[in-house]
Amino acid sequence: MAPRQDQPPRPKKTVVFLHPDLGIGGAERLVVDAAVGLQNRGHKVVIFTSHCDPKHCFDEARDGTLDVRVRGNTLVPPSILSRFSILCAILRQLHLILQISLFSDELAQLRPDAFFVDQLSAGLPLLSHLTRGSRPGRGGPGSGRHRRRP
């Protein structure tokens, strides 16, 4: 649906996707399609993932259509003794979040308006804590939006 002529155009947003392993599968197809759709509407989209094999991923993730950045893959293996893959995926996601927000200014430079976190919700409290107040009017320190009541 096109905006009416008398309405100003909507401002473009920055959307950050977090996905554990950007391979070839149904969840990955959904993430890629959503990211491409937002990008086609003029929004800036960045996908952060702990793993993306150029030989085993969708074309959009490989050919430069999407900005895919692999982070959080250096400390925790995908599994331990072929077990604990979920625990390792959660730890890799936490490492990814720390890497893009504390150990670099990558997330601060992007100034995302929205996050699309797929499959793993364990990192949401950390992500919320680390990004609180990163955009004007979002309730950072001194804004009064997150003050404790006496």
Res. 57: pLDDT tops 60? yes
What is the mean pLDDT of the segment spanning 82-105?
A: 96
Weakest-pLDDT range from 6-10, 94-98, 129-133: 6-10
Our measurement of the distance from residue 79's CA atom to the centroid of its chain's CA atoms, rounded to an integer in Å, reads: 22
pTM of the predicted structure, to 2 decimals = 0.83
Rounded Cα distance between 150 and 147, Å, is 9
Question: Measured between alpha carbons, how far is 44 from 62 in angstroms, rounded to an integer?
Answer: 17
Measured CA distances, 149 to 75, 125, 129, 143, 144 (Å): 40, 21, 19, 14, 11
C-alpha 48/C-alpha 23 separation (Å) is 13
Please identify, in words, the CATH class of the domain defined by 14-124. Answer: alpha beta
pLDDT value at 137 more than 60: no
The two tokens of residue 64 are 């430069």
First to last CA, the chain: 48
Question: Pick the residue with more confidence: 18 or 9?
Answer: 18
Domain-wise residue ranges, the chain:
14-124
Given a cut of 50, whether residue 150 has pLDDT beyond it is no
